[in-house]
Amino acid sequence: MSHLIFPPSIKILTLYFFTSCLLIACGSSDESSDAPIMTSLDLIPESEIKAGENLVVNADCRNCDSTKIRYEWKVQGVEEIVSNEDYYQIPAKHVLKEISITATAIDGAGYEGNSITRIYALNRIKEIVGGSSSYAAIKTDGTVVTWGAYSYRVNISQLTNIQSIIATGFAYAAIKTDGSVVTWGDPELGGDSSAVSNRLKGVKAIYTTVRAFAAIKADGSVVTWGPSSSGGNSSEVAAQLTDVRFISGSDLAFAALRGDGSVVTWGDPEYGGDSSEVIDQLTDVRAISATAQAFAAIKADGSVVTWGASHAADSSEVQDLLVDVQSIVANYGAFAAIKLDGSVVTWGDAYYGGHHLRAITDQLVNIKSISATNAAFAAIKSDGSVVTWGRPHDGGNSSEVADKLINVQSISTAYNAFAAIRGDGSVVTWGYTSANGNSSEVVDQLTDVESISANWRSFAAIKSDGSVVTWGGYYNANSLQDTSGLQPSGIVTLK
């Protein structure tokens, strides 16, 4: 047998590679064992997210120079780094933002190691949803606070990791981060979902009529519950409810928009649950809106198809004007459509603003958005001014506050009152002045307002410091105005 004989130089080279591989495989190289490593990053005890306060972290690392740790503080919505220290002094405008800190380990020679990032937020009310005479508010940590009528019907221990909430007049449904659903309120009107609980998994969105719920799942199927007379039973159209992207609800019927632009309806026929007369026209639909008893669908070409109770649905008199429609808003008995050029077309019951006065026709130009109470409309123009029409008692007449309606950013609505947020964070209200339309008792508190929610009878405003201000509620007023438990408390670590 012959043997291969290698020259000394090759033997030395082979031994070198063999030894290097062993060192690398065993993790015993000097470079890897001495690399700077960030081991922990935490807020110091008793830290607060509060205007003017310092948010301070404590960083621990191994094989690093603590004086060279790189800190990078960032704020949600702000591109640049706001601090490179181990603390960040929080300005008032950043109190409600998510605040992140990244710490990178660096050794004495300047070599960088790993990084740890933490994201913090004030545990405060981030969203409020109203029923008829109650509220449910989601906090940053995913827990929920309820108050007012029907709030006592919920097991608070179930309300964790909540992502979103929607309400009928008498019940609530909350979607958790895992796609499951928790319901509470009047068990006969949607508050009890036990009959379909095994199907309420992977839920992405929930929609309502006045008394029933319809949930869209991740696979595009739909689950309904609540009174059959209100759309809570979709068994007759279940086979058609596939690839559903959106659902609109009148008082007692639903209309589902599918991915192919077709529409499926169910519920009380007199409330739009029967669309058979216009089914051939319901193609290439991209949006649906509803009054109490009728629906209006916008097609891809900007035309509109309506069905349901004739007093609200009949758009024949304005059909020639319904072209290039971009969006439609509805109240109880009328529709208002914004066209591509910023003009507005209305139809439906005149009592509810379905025929706006000729006196305001010239004002309805350059319209950005429209909001609606039960029987009135309010349109924000591109210059921040507001035009209103409909039943005066329900907010259709804003003449008493017209001089204050400037630089309006958004408008929220209760049953018969409007609340407008201006650019400076102040609030203007009008409508039923004996209740929610009158904010005079809290006007001094309504500063730096970020958002406003409403139920049928009152308003709740979230301010820039995370506090909540409520007003209105001529029925059950004391419980609706009780904001105990709503103030910011503590810090949530999001990462």
pLDDT for 151 beyond 90: no
Domain stops at, among 65, 88, 122: 122
Residue 479: inside a domain, yes or no? yes
pLDDT one-digit tens code per residue, 317-349: 999 999 999 999 999 999 999 999 999 999 999
**Spatial distance between the Cα atoms of 176 and 224, rounded to a whole number of angstroms:** 17
Place of tokens 């007379």: 229
At 478 the pLDDT is: 54
pLDDT of residue 325: 98
Non-local CB neighbours of 466 within 8 Å, separated by 6+ positions: 95, 96, 122, 124, 125, 487, 488
Last residue of a domain, one of 91, 122, 153: 122
pLDDT band at 434 (very low <50, low <70, confident <90, very high): low
- Higher pLDDT residue, 417 or 356? 417
Q: Write out the DSSP string of 474-488.
A: SSSHHHHS--TT-S-
Percent of the chain with pLDDT over 90: 75
Q: Is pLDDT of 8 > 60?
A: no
Q: Where are the alpha helices (DSSP H) in 267-403?
A: 310-313, 358-361
Instruction: Work out the average pLDDT over 190-214.
Output: 96
In a domain, 307, yes or no: no
343-385 pLDDT tens trace: 999 999 999 999 877 778 889 999 999 999 999 999 999 999 9
With respect to residue 242, please indicate whether it lies within any of the assigned structural domains: no
15 pLDDT more than 70: no
| pTM for the predicted model, two decimal places | 0.85
Instruction: Return the closest-CA partner of residue 230 out of 254, 256, 252, 208.
Output: 252
If we measure between CA atoms, which residue out of 356, 363, 357 comes closest to residue 342?
A: 363
- The residue with greater pLDDT, 29 or 431, is 431
Domain edge (last residue) among 77, 100, 122: 122
Tokens of 45: 């005890």
pLDDT greater than 50 at residue 23: no
Instruction: Tell me how many degrees the CA angle 392-463-171 measures, rounded to the nearest 5.
Output: 65
* One-letter-per-residue 3-state SS of 36-50: CEEEEEEECCCCCCC
Average pLDDT, the chain: 89
Instruction: Give me the mean pLDDT over the 197-226 stretch.
Output: 97
Q: What is the pLDDT averaged over residues 83-100? A: 93
Query: What is the rounded CA–CA span in Å between residue 305 and residue 343?
Result: 19
Smallest CA-to-CA distance from 405 within 423, 432, 391 is with: 423
Query: What counts of helices (H) and strands (E) characterise the chain?
Result: 5, 34
Residues of the domain holding 447: 398-483
Q: What is the mean pLDDT of residues 197-210?
A: 97
With vertex at residue 351, the alpha carbon angle to CA 416 and CA 360, rounded to the nearest 5 degrees, is 90
Q: How much is the pLDDT for 21?
A: 42
Quote the pLDDT of residue 158.
87
DSSP state of 490: S
Percent of the chain whose predicted confidence (pLDDT) is above 70? 89
- Mention every residue, 6+ apart, whose C-beta is less than 8 A from residue 382: 342, 366, 367, 368
For residue 25, pLDDT over 50 is answered with no
> How many folded domains does the chain comprise?
2
Residue 92 lies in a domain: yes
φ, ψ for residue 258 (rounded to 5)? -95, 165
> In the structure, what pLDDT confidence band is assigned to residue 167 with cuts at 50, 70 and 90?
very high
Residue 402 belongs to domain with CATH number: 2.40.10
445 in a structural domain: yes
Confidence tier at 438 by pLDDT (50, 70, 90): confident
Q: What is the CATH number of the domain that holds 102?
A: 2.60.40.10
Three-state DSSP class for residue 434: coil
For residue 227, is it within any domain? no
Q: For the sheet containing 99-106, what is the strand order?
A: 70-75, 99-106, 112-122, 491-493
- Residue 109, domain member (yes or no): yes
Q: pLDDT value at position 38?
A: 95
324: in domain: no
Question: Which sign, positive or negative, has the C-alpha torsion 284, 289, 294, 296?
Answer: negative
Where do the H-state alpha helices sit in 129-283? none
What would the mean pLDDT of 65-72 be, rounded to a whole number? 94
Residue 142 clears pLDDT 80, i.e. is over it: yes
Q: Which of 52, 95, 47 is nearest to 75 (CA)?
A: 95
The answer on pLDDT for 140 being more than 60 is yes
DSSP string for 6-59: --HHHHHHHHHHHHHHHHHHTT--HHHHT--EEEEEEEPTT----TT-EEEEEE
